Amino acid sequence: MVSGKYGWPTSLPDQVNWTGDYSTSVEMIDSDLHTVIVLPVCSGEFQLQSYPFQPLCVQNGGYKLAKDDGQRVPVVAISIETAHSGETLTGQRIGKIINSSGEAWSWNPVSGEVWVSGEGTLVQGVSGENWQTRQARVGVVCNSTSIIVQL
């Protein structure tokens, strides 16, 4: 038995092979809901090799560091790995991203919206600033080391 829209199986998982059933189901969800995008890194984009968890835009058929500067928006994904110029890079479009190492961010307070700055870093909305005119909203803070991406 399969569901209507995506054709995902709706039968109960096999008790013997439940991990295989689960793994297959998650892969089907990722492919149908487009939770990630894999594209090459544009030539000269060395900022993306420092660490993951950076905002990405697409120009000239590849990823560049997204910036809220009017030139490098909209944000289409957040990097979840590192890559050198010309290599492919995986960017996540939706869902939770956990930065357990703390190298890219450590949110305080642990609430609020996440935006892209003019320099290309992820920042929290600051009270009193007019964030409504910004184009580069990414998502919301989930806890001190994770965000929910909503692109």
**Is the per-residue pLDDT at 147 higher than 70?**
yes
- Is 147:139 a contact under the CB 8 Å cutoff? yes
Q: Could you read off the pLDDT of 104-139 as tens digits, one per residue?
A: 678 888 888 898 888 888 888 754 555 555 668 899
- Nearest-10 Cα torsion for 107, 44, 85, 115: 20
What average pLDDT is seen over the chain? 80
Cβ-proximal residues to 149 (8 Å cutoff; 6+ apart), any chain: 77, 78, 92, 93, 94, 95, 96, 97, 138, 139
Q: Is the pTM of this model over 0.85?
A: no
Q: For residue range 93-110, list pLDDT tens digits in order.
A: 999 998 877 666 788 888
**Any idea where the domains of the chain sit in the sequence?**
36-150
**What is the model's pLDDT at position 40?**
92
